[in-house]
C-alpha cells in the first residue's frame, strides 16, 4: 500500500465552498417538498448487464410496498431515463470519488434528496493455485444531496462456477429485505443528522483562522500548523479487494494547543478509506499555527492519495 499525503492549506475559496453546506439548505430540493415524500434516484451501477440488473434490483426493492415507506414516508423513485439524462447533462461520468459540492450538484441536477451510484460487474477469476471461478460484486454508494455526503457504502460480492450463478446470488442480496432495511436506516440517520445540524448551525458557529493563498500583509506574520509526525492511514482490505484508487480530502480544525478538533470529509471515496483517514487524522498532533508569536486556532486542508498496492511476485 502506498498512501501519499500532502498538507496544502485551505484557500478562501475552499472555505467558502465548505460553508455553502449551510447556505444551500433553504435552496435544496427537499426544503420545498413534503417531509413525507423522499425523492430517490438510482443510477446504473456502471456499464454492462450486471450493472444494469443490479440497479434495477435496487429500484424494485425500494419501490416495494413495505415498512420502508411507513418508517420514512413515501419513497418517490425518479424515472431511470430521466435520472440518467440529468446526470449526463450535469457532466457526471461515473466517478465514485466526489467532492461535497460535486455530489450536491449531481443530486440537484437529478432533482432528488438521495441517490445511488456505484459499480457492479461479473468477472472471471483465474488464481494460479486454484480452479477458475466467477465473481459478481456491486459497489453501492448512497449519497445525500443536501449535504453531498456519502451516507452508506457497501460491496457485496459472491462467487460461482458460472457467471449466471454468481450474478443471481448477487441480485438476491440486493433484493433482500435486509438490504432494503439497511438503505432505509441510512436515509433515516441522514435525515435526523441534517435536522440536528440545521437546528444547531447558528449556535455552534465559531471563529477560526483560515489560511489564505493571497499575499496580503495580514498573512505575512502567520505560520501554518505543522504536524509532529505525518501518519499514513492504512489501506483497508476491502479497498484492496476492490483495487480502489482514490483521494480523500479533509478539513481539520486545529486549536491553539495544536490538538485536532472537528474533522470533516470534503472529498469521499468509500471502501473504508474515509474511515481510515478520519481515524488517522484524529491521532495526529500539531505545532499550532502562530501569528505574531501567539498560537491561534486554524482550519487546514489535508489530502491523502491512495493507490492500490503493486502485485506481489510469487
Angular region, 271: left φ>0, alpha ψ -120 to 50, beta rest = left
C-alpha cell, 94: 461515473
Alpha carbon distance 84, 202 (integer Å): 37
Angular region, 258: left φ>0, alpha ψ -120 to 50, beta rest = left
Instruction: Say if residue 22's pLDDT is above 70.
Output: no
Instruction: Say if residue 203's pLDDT is above 60.
Output: no
Alpha carbon distance 182, 68 (integer Å): 10
CATH architecture type of domain 33-200: 3-Layer(aba) Sandwich (3.40)
Instruction: Say if residue 213's pLDDT is above 50.
Output: no
Give the pLDDT score at 196: 85
Helix axes 163-174 and 49-63, enclosed angle (nearest 10): 30
| Average pLDDT of span 287-302 | 94
C-alpha cell, 161: 462456477
Give the pLDDT score at 130: 87
Angular region, 140: left φ>0, alpha ψ -120 to 50, beta rest = beta
Give the pLDDT score at 197: 83
Alpha carbon distance 249, 269 (integer Å): 9
Alpha carbon distance 120, 97 (integer Å): 16
C-alpha cell, 46: 456502471
Give the pLDDT score at 230: 86
For cell 441510512, name the residue.
186
Burial degree of 243 (CB within 10 A; 0-12, 13-18, 19+):
exposed
**Nearest-CA neighbor of 106 among 77, 154, 134, 145?**
145
Fold classification of 209-307 is: TolA/TonB C-terminal domain (3.30.2420)
CATH 3.40.50 range(s) for the chain read 33-200
CATH 3.30.2420.10 range(s) for the chain read 209-307
- What does the DSSP 8-state code read for residue 184? H
Instruction: Say if residue 232's pLDDT is above 60.
Output: yes
Amino acid at each position: 500500500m502506498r498512501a501519499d499525503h500532502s498538507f496544502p492549506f485551505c484557500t478562501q475559496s475552499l472555505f467558502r465552498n465548505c460553508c455553502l453546506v449551510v447556505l444551500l439548505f433553504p435552496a435544496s430540493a427537499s426544503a420545498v417538498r413534503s417531509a413525507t415524500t423522499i425523492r430517490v434516484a438510482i443510477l446504473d451501477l456502471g456499464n454492462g448487464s450486471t450493472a444494469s440488473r443490479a440497479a434495477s434490483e435496487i429500484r424494485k426493492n425500494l419501490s416495494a410496498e413495505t415498512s420502508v415507506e411507513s418508517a420514512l414516508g413515501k419513497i418517490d423513485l425518479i424515472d431511470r431515463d430521466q435520472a440518467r439524462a440529468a446526470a449526463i447533462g450535469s457532466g457526471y461520468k461515473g466517478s465514485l470519488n466526489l467532492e461535497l459540492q460535486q455530489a450536491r450538484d449531481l443530486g440537484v441536477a437529478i432533482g432528488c434528496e438521495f441517490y445511488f451510484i456505484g459499480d457492479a460487474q461479473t468477472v472471471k477469476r483465474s488464481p494460479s493455485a486454484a480452479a477458475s471461478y466467477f465473481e459478481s460484486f456491486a459497489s453501492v454508494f448512497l449519497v445525500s444531496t443536501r449535504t453531498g455526503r456519502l451516507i452508506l457504502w457497501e460491496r457485496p460480492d459472491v462467487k460461482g462456477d458460472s457467471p449466471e450463478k454468481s450474478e443471481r446470488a448477487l441480485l438476491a442480496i440486493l433484493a433482500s429485505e435486509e438490504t432494503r432495511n439497511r438503505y432505509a436506516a441510512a436515509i433515516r440517520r441522514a435525515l435526523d443528522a441534517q435536522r440536528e445540524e440545521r437546528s444547531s448551525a447558528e449556535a455552534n458557529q465559531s471563529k477560526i483562522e483560515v489560511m489564505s493563498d493571497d499575499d496580503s500583509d495580514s498573512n505575512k506574520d502567520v505560520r501554518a500548523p505543522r504536524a509532529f509526525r505525518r501518519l499514513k492511514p492504512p489501506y483497508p482490505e476491502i479497498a484492496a479487494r476492490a483495487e480502489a484508487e482514490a483521494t480523500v480530502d479533509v478539513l481539520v480544525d486545529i486549536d491553539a494547543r495544536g490538538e485536532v478538533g472537528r474533522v470533516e470529509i470534503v472529498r469521499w471515496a468509500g471502501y473504508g478509506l474515509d474511515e481510515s483517514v478520519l481515524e488517522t487524522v484524529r491521532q495526529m498532533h500539531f505545532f499550532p499555527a502562530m501569528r505574531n508569536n501567539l498560537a491561534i486556532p486554524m482550519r487546514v486542508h489535508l489530502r491523502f492519495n491512495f493507490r492500490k498496492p503493486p502485485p506481489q511476485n510469487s
